[in-house]
Each structure stands twice: as C-alpha cells, then as structure tokens.
Chain A
Amino acid sequence: MYCITDEQVDFILDDIRRNGIEMEDLQLNLLDHICCIIEQNLEDDGDFEGFYRKTVRQFYKKELREIEAETIQLLTFKNYYAMRKTMIVSGLVSVMAFVTGSLFKWMHWPGASVLLVLGIAIFSFLFLPLMLTLKIRESGSKRDKLVVTSATITGLLYCMACLFTIQHWPGANVLWFSTVIVSFFVMIPIYFFTGIRKPEAKVNTIITSTMLVAATGFLFLMLNTRPSYKMHEVKMYSWLQSEQLLQRMQGANTDTDKLAADINRICMQIKSLVLQNAIGMSAMPDDFEKKGIFMKESNTGPAFMDAKSKGTRLISELKEKIEQYNAQHSTAPIPVAHTALDAPDDMVGRYSNYTILNTITQLQLYVASAPHTLVATK
C-alpha cells in the first residue's frame, strides 16, 4: 500500500482546484477518493504523479469541471420545487393585493396606491420572472422559449402601463404604445408561427392568435380614442382665460371686505395645491408656452385624497367662509349648488384638476364682481 505524504495531498487538492472544482465539499470528496485509489492501487515505489494523472483522467469525459457542473445542475433542479412554490404564493399575494387595492381605490379609502403598486410590482418582478424561468426549463425547443419570453415581456409591459396609468405617473402612454407594438409585431407573430407548425396545436393557435390580435387592436383603439392633446389644450386655455378675466376684475377692485379677502386667500391656496400636483409649480408662469408647460386633465393628487388631506380641509374652510359671506351679502350670494363645493368632503378627490380649478376661479369671479364691490369702486 502506497503512503501519501502531506505534500502530495496538497498537490492533489491544488490540482483539483486548478481544474475548475470550486465547491469545497466536492473538492474534499474528490481528494479523499483519489487518495483512496492511489493508496489501494499504487505500488510502494510507484510513480505518484503519473498514476495520479491516469486516475483523474478516468473521472471525466472532457474536463474535470463536468463533475461540478453536473452537481450544480442537480442542485438547481431541487430548487425547482421552491421556485414553483414561490411563484404560486407570489401570484396569489399579488392578485389579492391588486383586488383589495382596486376596491380601496374605488371606495377612495387610504392605502389604495400602496396595495396596487405592491400587487403589480410583485406580479411583474417576482411572479412573471419565476414563471418565465420555470417555463423555459420545461419547454424543449428554442422556439418555445422565445414564445414564453416574448409573452412575458408583453405581460410585463402591460402591467407597467396599467401601473403608470393608475398612479398618473408620466410615461404611461409610451408604455401602452410599447405594449401594443411588442404584442402586435413580436409576440403574436412568434406565437402564431410556432404554433401553426404543430399539427396538434394548429386550431388552438389560430383561435388564440385571433383573440390576441383582437385584444391588442382594442387596446390600440382605446389609446387612440383617449382625450387628445387638443382637448386638454382647450381645457387649459379655457381656464387660463377665466384666470385672466379674474385678474382684470381684481385689478379694478378696491374692496376691503375682510371675508372676501379670506375667501380669495383660501382660493389661491387651493389652486396652488392643484397646480403643484399637475405641473410641479404653485402657479402657472406667464411664459408657460415658452417653457413648454402643459397641464393635462387628471386627478387632483394626494392633497385631496381624503377628508383629512390638506386640500380637502381648505375646501371645507372655504365652504364655511362662503356661508358667512352669503349671510352678509344675501342680495348677491355666491352660488355653490351643483358645483364641486356642494359635494361632501370625502368626494372632493373625485373631481379632476380642471373641475376644481374652474370652480374656484369662478367663485373668485363672483366675489370680484359682487354688486357692493362694484359700487365701492364707483
């Protein structure tokens, strides 16, 4: 029996490492194995290195690293079950978050955004990638892998477009168009031409492809029939003209009514909150055209989200002041019936930015044009 020295043990370990075995467990196993073979089979005065080379050569086909690759492959296959479990759980969690988030959003309860963002994020960045990984492993051909990948990308884009739209984040339209383009020009052709080649999947492929084309077409139509830029533009200039009218009337006004001044102050605060959310500035600058500032019709943002928000509180304060004002000026009251100011506090957040802005500006116009003010000016 050959006796292996410590130096020789080091030599073998070093050689195994150099040949690409990185897992320590595997290094130790192979080391012991090789030592056993040498001890059992090599003559006392045999050629250690030569015998070692010959022994190791029997371990693999092309290179020693194969053993590690095989081990890793077997180990990751074990992760398959964990991955599948995570996929199912993440799918359930995201759907639940999405459904409750939608309900909250619909009811205007706080926390809707958090739930929706969470739901869509888990779905897009955990569920979909896991599904892709598992499906790619299951699918045999390269074409099948391509189908799954393109479908996942389309799904991801769709989710992101939904999220950006719900959250009123900029870029939603670009995402919708990307979804339509990728779906129509990448996913559907790949899916169709892969499926049509398999006799057993032919009919299903035709039906599903038709439905996908229809769905993508509807999506495209909805994008086109959305309020156009022109419509936003008309709304913006309509409001801006009311603002200019107001400024003219206020310029000619020398009213010192304390209540009217209070109402105007609150109105300015409300408008600046709405503008802050829409264009990121508290007032529309005079040179807005030059700066390319454009305000779209959207919601009024977090300041008007519920009864406790800053904007909503300002509105209820405004309502009180108007009541006092109307009591004092019963001959020319400010009409609030059927306006946004007529609604309960928790409903205010449902109006669009232009509805609120127009209501407030008109209210200021009433104050500025009140008969007693005009008399005072005379």
Chain B
Amino acid sequence: MIYSTELIKGTLKTIVLKLLADNKKMYGYEITQRVKELTFDKIQISEGALYPTLHALESEGLLVTEVEYIGKRVRKYYSLSPSGKSKSKEKLSELADFIETMKLLLDLKVKTA
C-alpha cells in the first residue's frame, strides 16, 4: 500500500527534520531514497512536495545548506540549524502525540510487535 499524498503532506516537515537529525547532512535525492528504503517503499516522497518543503524550512531558518560541485552540476546538502534541532524534537513529539490521539479517536487496534 502506498499512502495518499494528503497523509504525507502534513507530516513531511517532520519526516525531513527527523531524517536530518539522524543523518547530519543530506541532499534531496538522498532523502527520497532513504524514506523509500526505511518504509519498504510504502512512503514515496514526491519531488513536487519535497523541494518546496526544503525551501520553506530553509527560509524559516531551520535548515542550513552547503553546496558541492559535481562536474557541471551543484549538489545542495541540507542540515539542521540549532533552531532546527529543537524544532525537530518539538515536531516529533507533536506527531507522536497526534498518532496516540488518532488511535483513540478512530479506535484503532495497533498491533504491537
């Protein structure tokens, strides 16, 4: 099952922030691949959603960038700024709380592994 874009959209910022908190610095393609890998292809972040989010996070001051030249092209690496680090914790706990609430609300039986 591949999740709908509506579901992904609300959590994309949190996903990006969490990945960067775990992986120091990453570039766009790497992020999409890592998400695919970690979720066994169930979550596939579209390019059309990822890059606007990355730019927004950067302009909010949560991400800092550095560039690397690969032949004629430029690769932009993203990493968390100090405020991004605290924001990622905040966002994570918010989402965790949200998931708990959704379980309650929708009366989901969550299988515990």
| A222: interface (CB < 8 Å) | no
Please provide the chain B residues from 65 to 109 with a CB less than 8 Å away from any CB of chain A in the complex.
Answer: 67, 70-76
Within 8 A of B (CB), among A23-71: 23, 25-26, 28-33, 35-37, 58-61, 66-67, 70-71
**CA A233 to CA B48, docked complex, whole Å:** 72
Chain A residues in 8 Å Cβ range of B29:
32-33, 36-37
CB pair B51–A32 under 8 Å, yes or no, is no
Q: Which residues of B contact A28 (CB under 8 A)?
A: 67, 73-74, 76
Bound form: Cα–Cα A71–B48 in Å: 9
Main secondary structure of the interface of A (DSSP, over half): helix
Taking the nearest CB of chain B, how far is it from the CB of A59, in angstroms?
A: 4
Question: In the complex, A78→B71 CA distance in Å?
Answer: 34
Name B49's closest neighbour in chain A (CB-CB): A70
Given contacts A28-B76, A32-B27, A37-B29, contact A59 B46 (CB under 8 A): yes
Q: Is B112 an interface residue (CB 8 A)?
A: no
Q: Is the CB of A70 within 8 A of B52?
A: yes
Q: Are A74 and B56 in contact (CB under 8 A)?
A: yes
Q: CA of A35 to CA of B51 in the docked complex: distance in angstroms?
A: 15
A138 close to B (CB within 8 Å): no
In the complex, how many angstroms separate the beta carbon of A67 from the nearest chain B beta carbon?
Answer: 5
Number of A-B pairs, beta carbon distance below 8 Å: 72
Whole-angstrom distance between the Cβ of A79 and the nearest chain B Cβ:
9
**In the bound complex, do residue A75 and residue B76 qualify as a contact, i.e. CB atoms below 8 Å apart?**
no
**Chain A: interface residue total (CB-CB under 8 A):** 30
Q: Are A67 and B73 in contact (CB under 8 A)?
A: no
Contact A30 B47 (CB under 8 A): yes
Instruction: Decide yes or no: A71 and B55 within 8 Å by CB, A29-B28, A59-B47, A66-B48 being known contacts.
Output: yes
When A9-B71, A9-B72, A59-B46 are in contact, do A29 and B54 touch as well, CB less than 8 Å? yes
Contact, CB under 8 Å: B28 / A78 = no
CB-contact partner of A78 in B27, B60, B74, under 8 A? B60
Residues of B within 8 A of A77 (CB): 56
| Interface membership of B4, Cβ < 8 A | no
Q: Are A74 and B53 in contact (CB under 8 A)?
A: yes
Q: By the criterion CB–CB under 8 Å, are B74 and A32 in contact?
A: yes
Question: Are A9 and B73 in contact (CB-based, < 8 A)?
Answer: yes
6 sample A-B contacts, Cβ–Cβ < 8 Å, listed by A number: A9-B72, A29-B54, A30-B51, A32-B70, A33-B28, A73-B52
By Cβ-Cβ distance, the 6 closest A-B pairs, closest first, are: A74-B56, A36-B29, A71-B52, A70-B52, A59-B47, A9-B72
